[in-house]
Amino acid sequence: MANPKIGIRPIIDGRRLGIRESLEEKTMAMAQAAATLISENCRYADGSPVECIIADTTIGGCKEAALCAEKFAVNNVCATLSVTPCWCYGSETMDTDPMTIKAVWGFNGTERPGAVYLACVMAAHNQRGLPAFSIYGHDVQDVTDNTIPEDVKEKIIRFAKGAVAVGQMRGKSYINLGSVSMGIMGAFCDPAFFQKYLGIRPEWVDMSEVSRRVKYEIYDHDEFEKALAWVKANCKEGRDNNAPDVQHSREQKDAEWEFVVKMTLICRDIFQGNPKLYDMGWYEESLGRNGLLGGFQGQRMWSDWQPNGDFTEAILNTTFDWNGPKQPTIFATENDTLNATSMLFGHLLTGCASIFADVRTYWSPDAVERVTGWKPEGKAENGFIHLINSGAAALDATGKSKDAEGNAVMKPWWDMTQTDADACMEATDWCPASLGYFRGGGFSSHFKTDAEMPVTMMRLNLVDGLGPVLQIAEGYTVTLPDEVHHTLDERTDPTWPTTWFAPRITWEGAFTDVYSVMANWGANHGSLTYGHVGADLITLASMLRIPVALHNVPREKIFRPHAWSAFGTKDLESADYRACGTYGPLYK
């Protein structure tokens, strides 16, 4: 399926005999500038630039609006940005397609009242139940100035990133490999949520399908040999923390490595399909299931007797494998459908890997000092949260990728280099699975996030009587002295990957302190994404009609549809709830 496009609608005063003619060049220049800005600054998850399509003519009335809509309908337009430097006829020129995400940029100039049109058409959108984002520059420009002001750029880019995220979800599938793990409610796939809020079709595949494909060798045998050789050369084994009398033999471990490599290929093929399977005579399997995201139940019906899914989950979620850099496949541990959705949001907005983690422990400064003798300092001075899971986190979380200045980062997958991949692999070892948890064996990735990086933790939750809500916490990964890290890490499972996370404190509400963040977190899992992307998440959530229950994003960065102001401007969190409740899910 072709990537969704953003349609640019140049809106103009339709009065001819001098007025419209004088505005044609300026109006189309705004449209071209907006399209260039979006394509140069926004990418799809596959790494290609976001495509924009501009109406064939300026739009001065309902006939031209209809012609524009016809063009957009056959070009997979998921969102529209209307632009104008002047007064136009509001309800005659607006985008009335209920399936598109909408924004309007009104030029702030004194020669022509673009601001008046913007206000007029926002009123029309609000009155007709078609929420739209209002974009208007802070400072007056001359009519001959075709540059886009920085504040306008920020809003257009934020709108475009959210809109194409919505478009890329529509029509895709969530793949439940298995069902509910250990009674975790997030693993109970709610098909109504996926259908109505995201436009995603849930698919259920029993875990026995993995066993069937292993038994009948339904995978690319050449790629298996390549992947296994890569594993032997790059995946060094870590400590075996099991009692000596129960440790698996070398022969057993070698067999488990072969199994988990096959499982990785198989799970990927179930998501995406594989033409090699067609050549082998497996036509149905070659198609895949149109998966955009999914999860693996694993515990316990699988991991009590088969090698666990940690290697598979870690490698699929990572931005590279034996074939080099690749787009991560969003694959949630324990089939936590809601954490998978959180991971997807982060990935679609950044192109980076998303880190699946248990939100395990809050370490107060006093507790750290009592246990280790060290008083936290720097970004860790107010305490931090131990993010750790069973070894399925993306290897990008090692913090070993570097930008051009040598800073530790997590990169969009298309910017990953072999040097980055090698550094991440070198920082990771693979510990034999803790047999108390995983009786079937397997291997868990083990590393620590060894860098201070800006990150955003997020979590989608479902609440009875309320529906979906999103939680957002911007902050930093922090590093601890080696002896402190060792002391704290040994108190959990030291064969799993660890990230120490310090949310940014605002000294009020849920961000009064780090303890309050943990106390208000909605589930045992969270997703971590590189960068401070809370504002982008808030915009995306508003497009999907999902209220944000907790965040520490500065008020001036919050960008939601104009109609939200009608629900209150003093308490934006409450207004968000009322607006989302009024409009309901994006797909009725």
Residues noted as catalytic: 334, 358
- Encoding tokens for residue 545? 């009609």
Peptide bond into 212 cis (omega under 30): no
List, in sequence order, every beta strand (DSSP E) within 464-558.
467-478, 498-503, 525-530, 548-550
| CA distance linking residue 56 with residue 17, whole number of Å | 21
φ and ψ at 345, to 5 degrees? -55, -50
| CA distance linking residue 59 with residue 378, whole number of Å | 55
* Annotated binding-site residue? 474: no
Query: Residue 499 carries which side chain, given as an amino acid letter?
Result: T
| DSSP symbols for 538-559 | HHHHHHHT--EEE----GGG--
- Encoding tokens for residue 550? 């907790």
Query: Residue 127 carries which side chain, given as an amino acid letter?
Result: Q
Instruction: Determine contact, residues 459/521, Cβ cutoff 8 Å.
Output: yes
Coil, strand or helix: which one is 137? coil
Query: Residue 296 carries which side chain, given as an amino acid letter?
Result: F
| CA distance linking residue 511 with residue 525, whole number of Å | 19
| CA distance linking residue 126 with residue 124, whole number of Å | 5
φ and ψ at 32, to 5 degrees? -65, -40
* Sheet order of strands, 52-54 included: 52-54, 5-10, 77-84, 101-106, 132-136
Rg (CA), the chain: 25
Instruction: Determine contact, residues 103/80, Cβ cutoff 8 Å.
Output: yes
Instruction: Determine contact, residues 102/160, Cβ cutoff 8 Å.
Output: no
φ and ψ at 237, to 5 degrees? -80, 145
φ and ψ at 550, to 5 degrees? -160, 130
Q: Please, is 132 exposed, middle or buried when counting C-beta atoms within 10 Å of its C-beta (0-12, 13-18, 19+)?
A: buried
**Cα of 114 vs its chain's centroid, Å:** 35
* Annotated binding-site residue? 150: no
Q: What is the dihedral of CA 191, 192, 195, 198, to 10 degrees?
A: -100
Other residues' Cβ atoms within 10 Å of the Cβ of residue 67: 14
* Annotated binding-site residue? 525: yes
| CA distance linking residue 47 with residue 135, whole number of Å | 27
- Non-local CB neighbours of 460 within 8 Å, separated by 6+ positions: 338, 339, 341, 342, 345, 468, 469, 470, 471, 546
φ and ψ at 320, to 5 degrees? -155, 160
Q: Nearest Cα to 155, choosing from 568, 566, 538, 529?
A: 538
Name the DSSP letter for residue 302: T
Instruction: Determine contact, residues 77/101, Cβ cutoff 8 Å.
Output: no
Tokens 């948890």, residue located: 437
Tokens 């058409």, residue located: 121
Annotated binding site: 334, 358, 525
Annotated binding site for Mn(2+): 334, 358, 525
